Amino acid sequence: MNQGVTVKMNCRTGAGFTLLEMLVVLAIIAILATLVMPSNANRHLQQQVLESVELIERYKGNLEAFYSATGAFPADNEAANMPEPDKIIGSYVQRVDVENGAMHLQFGKKFPESLSGKRLSLRPMIVEGSPNSPVSWVCGFDAVPEGMAATVENQTDLELRFLPLRCR
pLDDT 10s digits, 34-82: 877 766 778 889 999 999 999 999 999 999 999 999 999 999 999 999 9
Distance CA 10, CA 137 (A): 75
Q: Residue 10 to residues 13, 16, 18, 30: CA-CA distances in angstroms? A: 9, 15, 15, 33
With a cut of 70, list the residues of the chain below it in pLDDT: 1-14, 38-39
Alpha-carbon dihedral 124, 128, 132, 137, rounded to 10 degrees: -20
Q: Per the confidence metrics, is the pTM higher than 0.85?
A: no
| DSSP labels, 61-72 | HHHHHHHHHHSS
Question: Which domains, ranges and CATH numbers included, belong to the chain?
Answer: 43-167 (3.30.700.10)
DSSP 18: -
Distance CA 146, CA 150 (A): 11
